[in-house]
Chains A and B, each alone.
Chain A
Amino acid sequence: QVQLQESGPGLVKPSETLSLTCTVSGGSIGSYWSWIRQPPGRGLEWIGYVYNSGSTYYNPSLKSRVTISVDTSKNQLSLMLTSVTAADTATYYCAKDKNGGAFDYWGQGALVTVSS
């Protein structure tokens, strides 16, 4: 059973960089992995994905500020989002891609608040 666990600071100051890590256990990291976020009380937004080769694709709405990477030796993927504002306050999820874009395993989510 694949399990995903997000970790990282729960509070980030405006203009700084949000950094999260997702640790994958119970399965191979040989897949596509995405980050998805959900502002409080709102819907879901796909941020982008990384493949275990390191190839990535980002949502154009965030592309200039986002970096997603994978460390296969640690079974971890990471998310960096620069120049954050209050609009980036959300629960951030990592998720495993099942078959080209449907997500069958999700982390429990990490709430990140952007505030001074």
Chain B
Amino acid sequence: DIQMTQSPSTLSANVGDRVTITCRASQSFVDWVAWYQQKPGKAPKLLIYKASTLESGVPSRFSGSGSGTEFSLTISSLQPDDFAMYYCQQYTGYPWTFGQGTKVEIK
């Protein structure tokens, strides 16, 4: 299985901050990566797919980048609605796997 290791596990930040979450794949040549936001009691919401393509309707402050084994999700200016859990997911190789999650909390 391709393991996706997210860092940090928890990120404390202020409104307006630029934040970056990183996901490292255990194998090379991972191309297909998605990022999700999840709020308590809710289903995950797709933010980014194919590593860097913004899902329709998602604010442009969210962006994704990376290739190979290193991927990142950046929020350019953190908004109150952005405090949540974030997960990366690879769908290059079976079984599709998720990172363990990053909690973005208010500093």
Contacts and interface: CB of A to CB of B under 8 A. Distances in A.
Real binding pair: yes
B49 A102 contact: yes
Contacts, number: 55
A102 B87 contact: no
A26 interface: no
Contact of A108 (B43, B97, B99, B100): B43
Q: Is the interface of B mostly helix, strand, loop or mixed?
A: loop
Interface of A: 43-46, 57, 59-61, 93, 95, 98-104, 106-109
Interface of B: 32, 34, 36, 42-46, 49-50, 55, 87, 89, 91, 94-101
Contact of B34 (A57, A101, A106): A101
Given A43-B100, A100-B32, A104-B55, A61 B46 contact: no
